[in-house]
């Protein structure tokens, strides 16, 4: 039994050194361990590598060097097919701008990952009902996205990210465009769901108030963890 997430000396270099000075060390030697069921907030100034870290943790991007273990699986050694499987089986993502599908209703958005992954129809319905209730959106199930508030969209995105019951939830500024009341509602849900299902949660935020709801705050600067 190890950590849920272990990062060893991870670097991510964008561009090429020398050519025109355009190389950027988005990650510059990050080491980090996160426990099963832990809720971690990542903070730090714009451009310090927070989103890059989430992307490599979730197999959306690959490291230049270093190691990442997710549930003891070496993510840095996976090929494209392996990364796709990892994302499907273990990861839920939430981005700041939701990436929900605007022409679908709330419940259709939540169901979508189950349909894409051929989950049994009855099971999709059961989970969709339970999640819409958990995030307080059952009364808006048939609404289309333009009929929702920002906080409601964010709660829909949370329900969708949880449909496949991921071991790890990665959220990039999930409350970035919410007022403080809607923000605390969303992070409170993160906490509850994390505790109920032992989901490991890594959340990037610029808000101290939001970070406060996490078990631990990790601070980054210039591609490194400083605290």
Cross-strand pairs, 5: 34, 70
Which of Mg ion, ligand ATP, none binds 47 (CB below 5-8 Å, type-dependent)? ligand ATP
The reply to whether 225 sits near ligand ATP by the rule CB under 6 A is: no
User: Shortest approach of ligand ATP to residue 29 CB, angstroms?
Assistant: 14
Residue 157 near ligand ATP by CB under 6 A: no
**Which residue number, 164 or 218, has a Cβ lying nearer to ligand ATP?**
218
Choose between 53 and 70: whose C-beta lies nearer to Mg ion: 53
* 52 contact choice in ligand ATP, Mg ion, none (CB below 5 to 8 Å, kind-dependent): ligand ATP
Distance, CA of 204 to CA of 220 (rounded, Å): 11
Q: Return the closest-CA partner of residue 7 out of 95, 82, 74.
A: 74
Binding mask 28-67 for Mg ion (x = CB under 5 A): -----------------------x----------------
The DSSP letter of residue 145 is: G
What 17-21 contacts at long range (C-beta under 8 Å, 24+ apart), as own/partner pairs, is none
CA 36 to chain centre: 15
Query: Number of H helices and number of E strands within the chain?
Result: 7, 10
Per CB under 6 A, contacts with ligand ATP among 5-34 are 14-15, 24, 26
Chain residue whose CB lies nearest Mg ion: 51
207 binds ligand ATP (CB under 6 A): no
| 182 contacts 167 by C-beta, under 8 angstroms | no
49 is a contact residue toward ligand ATP (CB under 6 A): yes
Scanning residues 147 to 206, which ones bind Mg ion (CB under 5 A)? none
What's 105's DSSP letter? B
Question: What's the farthest any 2 CA atoms get from each other in the chain?
Answer: 57
Pairing of strands 216-221, 224-225: antiparallel
Residues of this chain that bind ligand ATP (CB under 6 A): 14-15, 24, 26, 44, 46-52
């Amino acid at each position: 039994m190890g950590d849920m997430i272990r990062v060893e000396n991870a670097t991510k270099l964008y561009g090429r050194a020398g050519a025109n000075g355009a190389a950027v060390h988005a990650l510059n030697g990050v080491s980090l361990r996160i426990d099963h069921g832990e809720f971690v907030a990542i903070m730090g100034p714009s451009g310090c590598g927070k989103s890059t870290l989430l992307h490599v943790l979730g197999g959306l991007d690959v490291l230049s060097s270093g190691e990442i273990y997710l549930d003891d699986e070496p993510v840095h050694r996976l090929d494209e097919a392996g990364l796709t499987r990892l994302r499907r089986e273990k990861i839920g993502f939430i981005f700041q701008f939701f990436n929900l599908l605007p022409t679908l209703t709330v419940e259709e958005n939540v169901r979508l990952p189950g349909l894409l992954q051929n989950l049994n129809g009855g099971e999709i319905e059961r989970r969709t009902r339970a999640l819409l209730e958990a995030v307080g959106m059952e009364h808006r199930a048939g609404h289309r996205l333009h009929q929702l508030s920002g906080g409601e969209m964010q709660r829909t995105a949370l329900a969708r990210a949880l449909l496949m019951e991921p071991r790890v939830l990665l959220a990039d500024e999930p409350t970035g465009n919410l007022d403080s009341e809607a923000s605390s509602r969303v992070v409170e849900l993160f906490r509850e769901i994390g505790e109920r299902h032992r989901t490991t949660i890594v959340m990037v935020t610029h808000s101290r108030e939001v970070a406060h709801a996490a078990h631990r705050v990790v601070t980054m600067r210039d591609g490194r963890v400083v605290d």
